[in-house]
Amino acid sequence: MSQRLILASASPRRRELLAELGVDFEVITAQVTEHEEATTDPRVMVAHNAALKADWVAARYPDAWVLGADTTVFIDGHALNKPADGTEARAMLRRLSGRTHTVFTGIALRHFTKGVRIDEGVSSEVTMRTLDEPTIEAYLARVHTLDKAGGYGIQDHGELIVDRFSGSLSNIIGLPVDETKQLLTRCGLLKS
């Protein structure tokens, strides 16, 4: 059976994080419409979207291992997904300012021929600095935020906006590396 691994994500951050594990993989972006209703339970939303991506690609490559992932930021009972524009990114950063929020990532691993369907979820906490308008503008001038949940990336000039975090840093970036490594090891794609 094939040990081909496909990452079902267009995210350059996920590509970099998966590459850190030293596993060979290719990227095939799932052509799906993600569920991004802000009031949906974030655990359900990221699990659904990760599975949607993995299932779409796995249906087309049934003899391959397919990894899907989805990440969102959650505060005040609402998910903050990717901002539509700079105005929305500013509003998200204002909302997160001086507060702690949760970052949820869903991971889905599929191999249709082998009948493998594994779904996991990881969460981390991030506490933001109190952000004044000049800091928000300085951050947005340095970082492209429209492809990042919550309108920020902790790996991109995070020192300007993040006070501290707990849990998995790679989860906050978009793919929890330790949990992904355990999953791939369990399925024989990585040596323990």
For every residue of the chain, DSSP letters joined together read: ----EEE----HHHHHHHHTTT---EE----------TTS-HHHHHHHHHHHHHHHHHHH-TTSEEEEEEEEEEETTEEE---SSHHHHHHHHHHHTTSEEEEEEEEEEEETTTTEEEEEEEEEEEEEPP--HHHHHHHHHH---TTSGGG--TTTTGGGTEEEEES-HHHHHTS-HHHHHHHHHHTTSS--
The 10s digit of each residue's pLDDT in 62-76 is: 999 999 999 999 999
The 10s digit of each residue's pLDDT in 92-149 is: 999 999 999 999 999 999 999 999 999 999 999 999 999 999 999 999 999 999 999 9
- Residues that are catalytic: 70
Task: Please tell me the distance from the alpha carbon of residue 61 to that of residue 112, in angstroms, as a whole number.
Answer: 8
Task: Please tell me the distance from the alpha carbon of residue 180 to that of residue 167, in angstroms, as a whole number.
Answer: 15
pLDDT score of 1 more than 80 = no
Domains of the chain: 5-186 (3.90.950.10)
The 10s digit of each residue's pLDDT in 33-51 is: 998 888 889 999 999 999 9
The candidate with the shortest Cα–Cα distance to 171, out of 120, 136, 128, 130, is 120
